[in-house]
Amino acid sequence: MLACASIFFFIYWLMKNLIISSVFSLILIAGCGKVNENETKNNQTSKDTGSITSDSKDSKTDSKGKEIFYMKSDVNNIACADCHSDGTNKSNPLTAYFSDVIGANKRESTYSGKFKGSEVSANAGGATVCWKTYLKKKEDMSQDQINDLNNYFESLLGSNQPQISTYETIALPKRDKEKLKPIQTELEGLKGDVNNGKLVFDKACGFCHNPDSQIKKVPEILEDFEGTLKSVAYNVYLGDGPMPFYPTNKLSKQDVADITAFLLTKK
């Protein structure tokens, strides 16, 4: 009888300790799992924070260039983004006539071959020319501004290869008045359409020469030149001072004849 009681007590003791041990093990495992989970979260947070810090740095650098690109001139209220596309502003009608800036600083040449090699990035893909000529800035673009624009243009490129913007012009590498003469002669044989001329003018010229702009409007714009078909062609295809030149393959001879017909109704 005593032997049975001893055996029963031993079994009870053994089971009690096994249960306590099991519970303790479960608590220990759960605790370790929680620690590992927290470590994983902390590590992930550290990685994410590091990524965000890096991205923020790049974004900050790019945003400086974007700010310059969209900055309105205090002289004529014109911005680079009014004429050139960064891929998000194609609703601006003038971007259809002029080259985009996506990877502009990485191109082999810009301005129809006027700038080549290291000259391209040295003037931010040609932005320094627009800065003085069209935005009418009195001071030169600083090196920091050039670098910021280059960074922004390159960020738009992503993993793609830079594309050379090809367009036909008689204004580069220098303004060729001799090549303009046969164009003017051909224009004299075309009949302009006033209604279409207004449509083309609004799209190609209206941004700068609209009633609310700080640039000369119609009919005051005609005071700067004769207001004839030849003089309109001269300004359109060769440009004149702040007036940019238009590629001959983007604004056709018929377009120029139509624009002229519309302008002459405003004299």
SS3 state at 233: helix
Domain harbouring 206, CATH code: 1.10.760.10
Query: 145 lies in a domain?
Result: yes
SS3 state at 144: helix
Query: 58 lies in a domain?
Result: no
Q: Give the pTM.
A: 0.74
Whether the per-residue pLDDT at 124 is higher than 60: the answer is: yes
Rg (CA), the chain: 35
Mean pLDDT check: name the lowest of 60-69, 181-190, 245-254. 60-69
Q: Which of 12-21, 25-34, 171-180, 211-220 has the highest mean pLDDT?
A: 171-180
Residue type, 118: S
Q: Residues 162-218: pLDDT tens digits?
A: 887 777 899 988 899 999 999 999 999 999 999 999 999 999 999 998 888 878 888
DSSP characters over 86-139: -SS-TTSGGGGTS---TTGGGSSEETTTTEETHHHHHTGGGHHHHHHHTS--SS
Query: 254 lies in a domain?
Result: yes
SS3 state at 218: coil
Are 199 and 141 in a shared domain?
Answer: no
Are 193 and 126 in a shared domain?
Answer: no
Q: Which of 157, 188, 210 is the last residue of a domain?
A: 157
Instruction: Work out the mean pLDDT of the chain and round it to a whole number.
Output: 81
Q: Residues 93-119: pLDDT tens digits?
A: 999 999 999 999 999 999 888 899 999
Whether the per-residue pLDDT at 25 is higher than 70: the answer is: no
Whether the per-residue pLDDT at 34 is higher than 90: the answer is: no
Q: Nearest-CA neighbor of 120 among 110, 128, 112?
A: 110
If one counts the domains in the chain, the total is 2
- Count of other CB atoms within 10 angstroms of residue 171: 22
Domain limits for position 205:
177-264
Whether the per-residue pLDDT at 137 is higher than 50: the answer is: yes
